[in-house]
Amino acid sequence: MALRALLTLLLVSALFPSAGLCAGTAFLSLSSEAGEAGVQTAPVPLATSGRRDLRAYFIDVGQGDSEYIELPNGQNVLIDGGPPDPDGAAVPPIAKFLKEHKVDRIDHMVLTHPHSDHYAGLAYVADRMKIANFYDTRVDNTGAAGDDALREKVRSSGAKILYPAAGDTLEWAPGEVRVNVLNGCPESTQTAVGQLLNNCSIVLKITYQDASILYAGDVQDDVETGLVSRFGGELKADVLKVGHHGSSHSSSKPFLERIRPSSAFIEVGADNPYWHPAPSVINRLIEAGVASEQIYRTDRDGTLLYTIPGPP
Ligand SMILES: [Zn+2]
């Protein structure tokens, strides 16, 4: 774990009404800005005036994935958009976060794979704001129409569409942030099989300063085995967005042992029908060295922020 990224742990549940940060939900911050209110449970935060931080949010969207990143160069990234509104309303859970954070354009939008708990919120985004770059897999979910609709929407908007492949690097903040693509499906395929769709997830490792975050999408253990073989020690990351909402079919022991994260973030809905996260995954995370208090869950903790401080 990067030393400076560990400096503070703030629990600011509902303590930021003026900042508009997810009032009413727990909001944990690893490292924070000087001047912020909050319950400080670890040493003094760094002063941040003029600092080029990388801020990685794990958004509480219920049972689904959505992560937002503010890059140190001022650009932003949205990885997945979470599910539709569970009650069938037109406004998906992600809308609240976007409004509170005054997000009005997306520089880099990633659809890890075409399941509705990942793409539904992106359709809402594509309807309302300009998207500069869209990173997609070439797998078509033949059991759904929403992925086709999103892709058509993005295509007709004029966004640049890219299909990253394992081994690629993405130039999101050249010279500052390294973005390694570890998995994707750049070749055209069609399937309605859940496992095959999950395994096409775009997996990214993002490194800034001396800290890194691995976004595992929904890949399952067979792909994880391949990642261990191909990337080995390169998988090491301080933070893990746990694969597939904590499903027992992901987060295999060898994969976690290579990543050896200090903190783990699980994007999961309360009382979900899949029994996510699996107790076996929590155990495997702990066995891989993650302290139980460093395992965060959006169903219990709400939207979460991990900050990597920029140079002093
Ligand atoms: Zn999912």
Distance in Å, CA 83 to ligand 1 centroid: 9
Would the pLDDT of 171 be above 50?
yes
Distance in Å, CA 154 to ligand 1 centroid: 21
The pLDDT value recorded for residue 88 is 83
Environment of ion ligand 1 (residues, CB < 5 A): 117, 218
Distance in Å, CA 49 to ligand 1 centroid: 37
Distance in Å, CA 223 to ligand 1 centroid: 15
Distance in Å, CA 88 to ligand 1 centroid: 18
Distance in Å, CA 69 to ligand 1 centroid: 19
Token digits for 236?
């090491």
Chain segment 186-218, per-residue pLDDT in tens: 999 999 999 999 999 999 999 999 999 999 999
Chain segment 40-73, per-residue pLDDT in tens: 223 334 444 468 999 999 999 999 999 999 999 9
Distance in Å, CA 274 to ligand 1 centroid: 11
Residue 158 lies in domain? 4-308
Distance in Å, CA 92 to ligand 1 centroid: 15
**pLDDT-based confidence at residue 26 (cuts at 50, 70, 90):** very low
Distance in Å, CA 120 to ligand 1 centroid: 11
Distance in Å, CA 267 to ligand 1 centroid: 9
Please tell me the pTM assigned to this model.
0.87
Distance in Å, CA 247 to ligand 1 centroid: 10
Mean pLDDT, rounded, of the chain = 87
Distance in Å, CA 197 to ligand 1 centroid: 10
CATH code for position 88: 3.60.15.10
The pLDDT value recorded for residue 259 is 98
Chain segment 134-148, per-residue pLDDT in tens: 999 999 999 999 999
Q: In what order do the strands lie in the sheet with 105-110?
A: 39-40, 9-11, 28-30, 304-308, 54-58, 67-70, 76-79, 105-110, 130-135, 160-162
Q: How many domains does the chain have?
A: 1
Distance in Å, CA 37 to ligand 1 centroid: 33
Would the pLDDT of 34 be above 70?
no
Distance in Å, CA 38 to ligand 1 centroid: 32
